[in-house]
Amino acid sequence: MAVDKINVTGDTRVERRTAQVNGKTYGYLLGQPKAGQYRATVFLIHGFPDLSMGWRYQIPFLINMGLRVVAPDCLGYGRTDAPDPPQPYSHKQCADDIKALALSLGASKIILGGHDWGATLVYRIALWHPDLVTHVFTVCVPFVPPSPQYLSLEELVRTRAPNFTYQLQFKSEELEKAIRSKDEIRQFLLALYGGRTGDGELGFDARKGVLLDRMMRLGPSRLLGREELDYYTEEFARNGIHGPLNWYRTREINYRDELAILDRRITVPVLFIQALRDSALPPHLGKGMSKVIPKLTVKQVDTSHWALWEKPDEVNKILVRWLEEVVFVNGQSGSKL
């Protein structure tokens, strides 16, 4: 059975809104139950290279569960501002932005969901603003605590995580120089979304990055239809890919910021949905989470990095069960409406 999803070109279940947040314009999707009454507010934070519409399969069922849903385009993406320097993309600044957006909507307590960089960010929001967050769920990316020692990306790739080699390409300016036109942006997105050449070759390798020599030969991805790909291409063409790639240039900034929160822990309940076929994030990376997050639930899905689209039914069933058994146990959410 097909999973209900938001139509990218227009859907009455969501409104497109903008807000001025800490001197920046943020675009976001807002959906809520028809009656206007909701049990809690959930923020859905997307990753790279994605948009608020990355949660299109999750938004309808969350609304049906009585939640008010807020899905922002993150800094650099879509209808949100895309500053040129990397500093505004730090986890602390983006966490401050999300808190300010929540407060502007009258939400003093929120549930947080995140995928990819969005998962990394929601962990940080829970650390920087523990008064704001009641529950957290993440997809694909495990929690890594703040570190008292700085390890450069180059050293991390060389000594511990060769599967992150692609981030060296993303951090450099190679992709911005090669990907400028709308056609190039479309093909770049297909490389990350699993498009293949006529010979069945992929356009991305976690140990190399985007394979520019075959990028323009990639065909459609089975993970999204033509209308959705057209929408994503148009949204990314607004500001290009420099802003989204800035998220890969904040490692040292984040390290310095987080020296102030080395002693903090995530004490709220956390659901981690792990993708078993994520080439950049193999399953062993999540093994230590239970040692640092006391109220942790871990579930796995047999899917690639794009779990939200590839197996939406499985992901949604895991979320529903967790929401019912942990978040709304005995009908309570712990969230102020």
Structure confidence by residue, pLDDT tens digits, 71-104: 999 999 999 999 999 999 999 999 999 999 999 9
Pick from 56, 44, 46, 70: which is nearest to 231 by CA? 56
pLDDT given for residue 334 in this prediction: 44
Whether 15 contacts 30, CB under 8 Å: yes
Residue 115, classified by CB atoms within 10 Å of its CB into exposed (0-12), middle (13-18) or buried (19+), is buried
Q: What are phi and psi of 111, to 5 degrees?
A: -90, 140
The yes-or-no verdict on residue 332 having pLDDT over 80 is no
Average pLDDT of the chain to the nearest whole number: 96
- Write down the catalytic residue from 46, 91, 115, 305: 305
- Write down the catalytic residue from 50, 73, 97, 116: 116
Going along 247-308, which residue ranges are E strands? 270-275, 296-301
- 3-class secondary-structure state, position 229: helix
pLDDT given for residue 336 in this prediction: 41
- Which residues pair with residue 140 across a beta bridge? none
User: At which residue do the structure tokens 């310095």 appear?
Assistant: 256
pLDDT given for residue 300 in this prediction: 96
- Residue 246 to residues 88, 110, 135, 242, 286, Cα–Cα distance (Å): 9, 27, 28, 6, 25
For the question of residue 116 being annotated catalytic, the response is yes
- 3-class secondary-structure state, position 42: strand
Q: Is the peptide bond before 283 cis (omega within 30 degrees of 0)?
A: no
Confidence of residue 323 (pLDDT cuts 50, 70, 90): very high
* Higher pLDDT, residue 333 or 299: 299
φ/ψ region of 303 (left if φ > 0, alpha if ψ in -120 to 50, else beta) reads: beta
pLDDT above 70 covers what percent of the chain?
98
Fold entry, domain 15-331: Rossmann fold (3.40.50)
Amino acid at 130: P
Pick from 46, 43, 189, 39: which is nearest to 129 by CA? 43
Average pLDDT over residues 50-59: 98
The tokens for 257 are 């910021």
The yes-or-no verdict on residue 337 having pLDDT over 80 is no
- Residue 92 to residues 122, 259, 334, Cα–Cα distance (Å): 11, 12, 25
Confidence of residue 1 (pLDDT cuts 50, 70, 90): low
pLDDT one-digit tens code per residue, 23-36:
999 999 999 999 88
> To which H or E segment does residue 210 belong?
strand 209-210
Average pLDDT over residues 216-233: 97
Confidence of residue 335 (pLDDT cuts 50, 70, 90): very low
For the question of residue 305 being annotated catalytic, the response is yes
pLDDT above 90 covers what percent of the chain?
93
CA separation for the pair 334, 241 (Å, rounded): 38
CA separation for the pair 337, 326 (Å, rounded): 18
